[in-house]
Structure formats: structure tokens, C-alpha cells
Amino acid sequence: MTATFQPTVDRDRLSRALDAERARFRDEHPRSLALYERAKGSLLDGVPMNWMVEWASPFPLFVDEASGARFRCVDGHEYTDFCLGDTGAMAGHGPSATIAAVERQMRRGITHMLPTEDAIWAGEELGRRFGLPYWQFTITATDANRFSIRLARQATGRSKVVVHDHCYHGSVDETFATLDADGQVVPSEGSVGPPVPPSETTRVVPFNDVDALERALSDRDVAAVLVEPALTNVGIVLPEPGYHEALRDITRRTGTILIIDETHTICAGPGGMTGRDGLEPDMLVIGKTIGGGIPAGTYGMSEEVADRIRATMPERTDVGGVGGTLAGYALSLAAIRATLGEVLTAEAFERMIPLAEAWEAGVNSVISSRRMPWHVTRLGARAEYHFVATPPRDGAEQAAHADALLEKYLHLAAMNRRVLMTPFHNMALMSPVTTAADVDRHTEAFAESVDALLA
Ligand SMILES: Cc1ncc(COP(=O)(O)O)c(C=O)c1O
């Protein structure tokens, strides 16, 4: 049954509260506004990347400086940052170990298309965390996903890809596919210039739906299933007990390569959900966090996949659609070594996860004391609230409960109280330098913003 949207707050009050927050933001950010007006002359829509106009504020917040779990905008306001560059800065802004390694490497050669010893350290460490023996490096997680899909096609001689409904894996053409009300594969909402109808390349299955997965793979023409082990980009949707076992079993039985994308789910622990839950992917992708903010992505593979790739690779691959001039470049490998070795360590996760638990408890206390029909979901060091009382089991159900206006209001109200949430979600991420006081600051801002809707 398709879920339908049920508003959980009074719309008139919401729209009045949103207008008040917009006015406050304008009053308090004259410099950001002036920069935005100037930017319109040289940047498309006044921003360096188009989605930056989609934040909740009436115009973008221009940043002056970021450090640790905070940043200051050009108007001099200091914010607690729970967005952390949507995971790109999960290590905190400018971790000193990463900065020191990057500064050192900048003087020793930024890029030269030749390996450095840091690459070996990174491959060994990723193997230890995720259990796969061989690794390759890219600039972004998007690239790591694109190359993994290409290699899976090459290794299997099959063409199709399976993804979860409402997934996000970066700007990878094959993944901009969703199910319509009749269960047909159509372009995802907002998909820009799809090269071909996605039904030609992709099958889509709802998260947690074992039967749909079985049907999608039964023709044995699917090269790879590319999944996040928990959905995080339509809000967090956790796997039901047994789902990962079934996914592994069906992919093995049908000779399909299982690619797990841990780019966001690394929040579950130092080895992501793969390490925490003992998952056994054939290939694994991760980007964003691992370079501490310096562009870096990677994909790993099992011995068997490596053998199949080697056996089928053409002689010359440098122009074969897998790679990139800066892929695996020295600066990014130095950043990965420092970030994984000294910042996003197992010990750091032991501090980050309890902070997310405290954030979850704070939001829960506001929800229950105000009797809001909402709930909070947490995955390790990441937590998020949703405008429905019980956790949905797939992406479509989750999307049906999204309330764009309410989300906009709560994000903007948080910004005006100097707290930054991840845009397009109600998500908060803890860094190794986030504090209990930061968490309390969010709880207070959240309580105040909800109360304004009930007054
Ligand atoms: C799960 C997942 N994979 C891959 C990506 C792509 O990362 P990037 O935009 O850095 O290429 C994202 C980005 O949000 C993501 O959430």
C-alpha cells in the first residue's frame, strides 16, 4: 500500500513561523546577502554549485572560517556544525593531523601520476577495516561507484545494475532511477538530462524487499547490485533482520557482484556497517570522509573479483573509462593516511557514538513531551528525526512522509539559533571534536523551534 502524506503541524502557524525566521535571517546576514547579490554576476544563480541555492535560508550563508565542529559566517556568527559538509568533514573541519600531512605532502609533490608509500598504508588499513584485500583510489565516491559498476560489467559480461528505490550514490547515471506508482523504473525526481531511459540500464527494488530482489536478479543479466547497507539519503532507513543475509545469498546464487557503498554508513563504526555487522561485499566503496576534506574516494574488491577483473581487462586501460589523471594522487593519499590513522580512529568512534545517542535522547525528549507524532532514527554517529510516528521500512514510505515546508522551517530556525543541520534531511552527524554542549545547543534550539509551532 502506498503511504500518503499527512501533515503533522498546523499549516498557518508553520507558514507564519517560517516567515518570521526568514525575516530574522535577512536582518542578521547583511554581508552574506551582499556577497550573494555580487555572486549572481559571475556564478550561475549566485552559487558555485547549483544545489547550494536549495538550503533553507532565503539566500546562502557565506562562510568565513571553519574549525573543528564549528564555523563562522561572514556576518560574524558562530555555528555548531552538525552537517559537517554532508560527511565530507566528518573528521571535523581541518583536523590537525590531516593538515600537517597535507602541508608536508604539498612541499613534496602534490601529483605526479606515480604511487607513494602512503597508498600501500591506505590499502592495508582499508583491508583491515572492511575485510577486502585489494584497493584502488579515486577523487570522489561518485567516481568510485562509477568505476566499480564498469568493472563489475567487465568481470561478469552482464549489463544491468540493481539499486534500491530512493537511493543516492553520487552523480552516477545508472542510479538516477526510481519506481513509479505502477512499479515501473522511471528517472528519479529532478534527474538532469538522463543519457538514456534508466529502465535500459537499471532495475530498482524497494529496500528490505527480498522477493523483489529475487525477481530482479532471476534473469542472471545483472552485473552488480549497488547498495547502501542502510539508506541514508532519503533519511535513514535501517535494514530489517535477515535482509543482508538474503541480499548476500541471492547475489551469490545468481553470480551478481555485491557492491556496498559505505560513504555515509561509515558512521556505524570504523569499518562502517560492513565491519560492525560482518557483511561480506564483493566490492566496497567509500569517499568523502576518508581524506578529512581533501578529495578522496576508494573502492576495494575480493580476491575473486580481482582475479575476474584481471582475466578480462583489455591490455590498455588508461583511456578505458576507469581512472582519472588525479585518481590516487599523492596529496589525497597523504590525507587518507593521516585521517584514518590519527583522526577517524576506533577510539574516536567511541566518543562520537555516545554523542549521537545523547542527540537522539534530546530530540526524543522534545518529541514526547510535546506529543509530536515523529520519531528519531540513529545509525552510529548519525541521527535524524522524521515526521511520522513509526520508522518506515523502505525509501518510498520514507519519502511519502517528507514535509518540505516543515523541514525548511526547522532547518532555518536551527540556523537562526546558530546550529547547522544537513540540508535535504533532518540529519545530524557527530565529529570527533563535537561536544556534549554542542548536542545540548541543538536540543534547546529544536525545543524552541517546535514550541513556536504549537504556540
Ligand atoms: C552513499 C553515497 N555514495 C556516494 C556519494 C557521492 O559522493 P561525492 O558527491 O563526494 O562523489 C554520496 C554523496 O552524498 C553518498 O551519499
Q: What is the CA(298)–ligand 1 centre distance, in A? A: 12
Pocket test for ligand 1, best of 166, 263, 326, 424 (most atoms within 8 A of CB): 263
Residue 1 confidence (pLDDT): 47
Mean pLDDT across the chain, nearest whole number? 96
d(CA 270, ligand 1 centre) in Å: 18
Q: In testing the pocket of ligand 1, which one of 264, 267, 332 has its CB within 8 Å of the most ligand atoms?
A: 264
**Residue 131 amino acid letter:** G
What share of the chain has pLDDT > 90, as a percent?
Answer: 96
Rounded mean pLDDT, 250-266: 98
Q: What's the 51 CA to ligand 1 centre distance in angstroms?
A: 14
pLDDT for the residue numbered 318? 78
Distance 69 CA to ligand 1 centre (A): 21
Q: What band does 7 get if pLDDT is binned at 50, 70 and 90?
A: confident
Which of 146, 168, 207, 284 is the best mutation target for the ligand 1 pocket, counting ligand atoms within 8 Å of the beta carbon and taking the most?
168
Q: Is 138 close to ligand 1, i.e. is its CB under 6 Å away?
A: no
Cβ of residue 129 lying under 6 Å from some atom of ligand 1: no
- Residue 261 CA to ligand 1 center (angstroms) comes to 9
Q: Which atom of ligand 1 is nearest to the CA of 233?
A: 16
Residue nearest to atom 3 of ligand 1 (CA): 169
Cβ atoms within 10 A of the Cβ of 214, count? 15
Q: Ligand 1 in contact with 92 (CB < 6 A)? A: no
The answer for residues whose C-beta is within 8 angstroms of residue 355's C-beta and 6 or more apart is: 381, 430, 434, 435, 436, 438, 439
Q: Whose CA is nearest to atom 2 of ligand 1?
A: 169
Q: Is 0.75 topped by the overall pTM? A: yes
Q: Which sign does the torsion angle of CA 247, 251, 256, 260 carry? A: positive
Residue located nearest, by CA, to atom 15 of ligand 1: 169
Which among 385, 397, 388 has a CA at the least distance from the CA of 206? Answer: 397
261 in contact with ligand 1, CB cutoff 6 A: yes
pLDDT band at 455 (very low <50, low <70, confident <90, very high): confident
Q: Point out the ligand 1 atom lying closest to the alpha carbon of residue 295.
A: 10
Q: How far is the CA of 137 from the centre of ligand 1 (A)?
A: 15
> What strands lie across the sheet with 375-379, from one edge to the other?
375-379, 382-386, 427-429
Q: Are 131 and 273 in contact (CB under 8 A)?
A: no
Tens-place pLDDT, residues 139-151? 999 999 999 999 9
- Residue 101: is its pLDDT beyond 60? yes
DSSP string covering 147-199: HHHHHHHHHH---EEEEETT---SS-GGG-EEE-TTS-EEEPTT--S-SS-GG
Q: Is ligand 1 within 6 A of the CB of residue 293?
A: no
Q: What is the radius of gyration, based on Cα positions, of the chain? A: 22
Residues sharing a CB contact under 8 Å with residue 18, sequence separation 6 or more, in sequence order: 405, 408, 409, 412
pLDDT tens track for 142-180: 999 999 999 999 999 999 999 999 999 999 999 999 999
Instruction: Work out the pLDDT band at 3, boundaries 50, 70, 90.
Output: low
Residue 278 burial by Cβ neighbours in a 10 Å radius (0-12, 13-18, 19+)? exposed
Contacts of 146 (CB under 8 A, 6+ apart): 170, 172
For the CA of 167, the nearest atom of ligand 1: 1
pLDDT classification of 343: cutoffs 50, 70, 90: very high
CA 445 to chain centre: 24
Q: How confident is the model at residue 242 (pLDDT cuts 50, 70, 90)?
A: very high
Which residues touch 406 (CB under 8 Å, ≥6 apart)?
A: 7, 8, 9, 14, 387
User: Rounded to the nearest whole angstrom, what is the distance from the C-alpha of residue 292 to the centroid of ligand 1?
Assistant: 15
Ligand 1 and 288: CB distance under 6 A: yes
Q: Can you read off the three cell numbers belonging to residue 279?
A: 557483511
CA 327, CA 76: separation in Å to the nearest integer? 37
What integer is the mean pLDDT of 267-281? 98
If you average pLDDT over residues 204-222, what whole number do you get? 98
Task: Check pocket membership of 169 for ligand 1, CB cut-off 6 A.
Answer: yes
DSSP 3-state assignment of 33?
A: helix
Nearest-CA residue for atom 4 of ligand 1: 169
Q: Write the pLDDT tens digit of every residue in 422-453.
A: 998 899 999 999 999 999 999 999 999 999 99
What element of type H or E holds 412? helix 404-416
- The alpha carbon of 313 and the centre of ligand 1 are apart by a number of angstroms equal to 27
DSSP 8-state symbol, 425? T
80 lines ligand 1 (CB under 6 A): no
